[in-house]
Amino acid sequence: MRLTTFLTLAVTLALAEPSIAEPVASGVAGMAFDHDVPVIMTDGLQLRVNIYRPEKSGRYPVLMLMGPYGKDTSMADAPAYKTSWAKLIAKYPDLCKKSSCRYIRFEAPDPERWVANGYIVVHADVRGAGASPGVLDPFSPRETEDYATLIAWAAHQPWSSGKVGLLGTSFQAINQYQVAALHPQGLAAILPWEGAFDQYREIGYYGGLINVAWEYWWTHQVVPNQNGNAGTPLVDSISGGKDTGAPLPPDALKQNRIDPVASFAKHPFDDAYYQQRTPNGTQIVTPMLAIANWTDWSTEGYRAAASKQKWLRIQTGDHLTPFYSEEAFALQKRFFDHFLKGAPNGWEEEPRVAVQVRRPDGTAWRPASAWPLPGTHPQRWYLNAETGSMSTAPVSVVAKRSYPGSGEGLTFTSAPFEQETEFTGPIGARLWVSSSTKDMDIFAAVRLIDPQGRDVTFMGNSDPNVPLGLGYLRVSQRAEDPAKSTEYVPFHPHLGSEPMTPGEFYPTDVEFSEPTSIVIPKGYRLALTIQGKDFGYGPHANIAHARDYDLPNSDNSGLFFAAHPNRDPAIYGGTDTLATGGAQASYLLLPHVTAR
């Protein structure tokens, strides 16, 4: 929808009577609660929102989020969220002493704490989810248009100051980037906490390989909350019943939802489907604080946005618990106090970038003026197929080594580091490869090995044991756009397929999904594993701490599973070969920090 249309819509909403719902006793002193408030969308459909506001009358800034998980679904009781809730309470045992925790929802801020600090929180069920009817189609243009409508609506309510900020993690961070590009009236600041930006490269496909991990998300976390799903195990924590609306028969339910992985499979290349869902970064000018993770997700939204007032924080840790820490709440509050309340709290003096630098034994925050970090230089680590080693010295002798595409692949290991060394920033890899078939898939993992020969793993966004970095590439989609590529990060347009000639070698630049950070102590080594299947640590892996089984497929690392019918073993299970040395130099490109 065009900006002028939203401006017209905003004026219409401002003159209209506010939507009304019966108030519900919140049970929290000083907080009023309006449950299932209907809001009319541009096509006449009504979405349902919850409004948490101070009991004292007045106009307050609004924090908004819109998601598919159930605005009335308790994290403590829902089967899909019980593990996350248990981790949260274990990490922060005093969390429910600061509020009743009655209104905390998955990946969403606690409204009690914000209301107590002079904010209104509006939480909406997306179209087709929870109490909101319609077709459930995650991240679709229709869904983004709904979000813009809600923001304009909230900005013109009698309890609103006219300024709206967006806050939430994961899904509720991804859609912040989308809606900010539409410039809805009233939107004053966004805080996307660990959200992807590029719908093809960060969600549907990694390096041209379809990501079927979304099937678990869709089946276990989204479909149970579909509007009309009478068989949902989810319980409305407000009424004790179901908050999925009037029951629909199974056929109608299926027609009212669009399976994202099925859609991905129908769109193997970066076509209009993804381009409609990936924002135009030049249109994102709203002040923003972007939070990224060293493992899923993402600095891309920060890099793409044209906002002159933008800040980046890159952290480590799991998917949920850092969002609810006292440090996170204080950071979020300072940001929104400044941009939504005009508080002179010195936010403008905050460093534009801060990164949580990892070590094998802990982390430390470091401020910076830009991303990538100043004082960082690309360092090539040349692979040697003859010795299985890698080093910063170029390899003159050409060598080749083959491996089965369905097997364990090859690993190249450095000598022990002679002094403490830091790598913080984007990763790249140039690999000369051939295959016995017309295509091959590259899965690359950068690993840290301790002096005892054990893998040192790290807590990732979606996996408690991840390596330093993971890269992917379907070689038939190796074409690059030089104008959009950097030395570290190739930009593969993924507009079509160019089959390989069996036995012929091709230079390929592997896409790494995220940057990395590590201070390597003396005596530790780096390793690069290259194979033709998902990388992961199995139950008997030689790692430096106990394996924590957390995902349905615990042998995979990170938020990516490649097991899909489009990986025909007759093609992707062939014999793959890597060449190194001379004119076919293969290397890992690492961000060496020379000035701290």
Instruction: Print the SS3 string covering 284-342.
Output: CCCCEEEEEECCCCCCHHHHHCCCCCEEEEEECCCCCHHHHCHHHHHHHHHHHHHHHHC
What integer is the mean pLDDT of 567-591? 96
**What is the structure's pLDDT at 540?**
75
Angle, helix 171-180 to helix 141-155, in steps of 10 degrees: 80
What integer is the mean pLDDT of 373-380? 95
**What is the structure's pLDDT at 319?**
83
What integer is the mean pLDDT of 286-313? 95
What integer is the mean pLDDT of 565-570? 82
Residue 420 falls inside a structural domain: yes
543 pLDDT band, cuts 50/70/90, is confident
What integer is the mean pLDDT of 523-535? 96
What integer is the mean pLDDT of 380-394? 98
Amino acid at residue number 92:
Y
296 pLDDT band, cuts 50/70/90, is confident
Show the tokens assigned to 296.
Answer: 């899923």
Residue 422 falls inside a structural domain: yes
Tens-place pLDDT, residues 109-138? 999 999 999 999 999 999 999 999 999 999
**What is the structure's pLDDT at 504?**
98
Tens-place pLDDT, residues 491-519? 999 999 999 999 999 999 999 989 999 99
pLDDT at 571 over 60: yes
What integer is the mean pLDDT of 221-225? 95
**What is the structure's pLDDT at 6?**
47
For residue 73, how far is the Cα from the chain centroid? 22
From the list 565, 439, 472, the residue with the least C-alpha distance to 205 is: 472
From the list 204, 201, 200, 207, the residue with the least C-alpha distance to 534 is: 207
pLDDT at 436 over 90: yes
User: Tokens 């605005």 belong to which residue?
Assistant: 71
**What is the structure's pLDDT at 564?**
66
What integer is the mean pLDDT of 415-420? 98
**Domain limits for position 450:** 376-593
Residue 337 falls inside a structural domain: no
546 pLDDT band, cuts 50/70/90, is low
Q: Which residues partner with 49 through β-bridges?
A: 37, 124
pLDDT at 325 over 80: yes
CATH of the domain at 239: 3.40.50
Q: By mean pLDDT, which of 279-288, 376-385, 547-556, 566-575 is the weakest?
A: 547-556
**What is the structure's pLDDT at 238?**
86
**What is the structure's pLDDT at 4?**
41
pLDDT at 235 over 50: yes
Q: Are 371 and 426 in contact (CB under 8 A)?
A: no
Residue 324 falls inside a structural domain: no
**117 and 248, same domain (yes or no):** yes
231, 263, 279: which is the final residue of a domain?
279
245, 279, 313: which is the final residue of a domain?
279
Q: Is the pTM here over 0.85, yes or no?
A: yes
Q: Name the range with the highest mean pLDDT among 12-21, 52-61, 292-301.
A: 52-61
227, 249, 279: which is the final residue of a domain?
279
**275 and 389, same domain (yes or no):** no
Residue 287 falls inside a structural domain: no
596 pLDDT band, cuts 50/70/90, is low
Nearest-angstrom CA–CA distance, 565 and 573: 13
**430 and 552, same domain (yes or no):** yes
- Structural domain count, the chain: 2
448 pLDDT band, cuts 50/70/90, is very high
**84 and 210, same domain (yes or no):** yes
Sign of CA pseudo-dihedral 524, 530, 536, 540? negative
**380 and 269, same domain (yes or no):** no
CATH of the domain at 525: 2.60.120.260
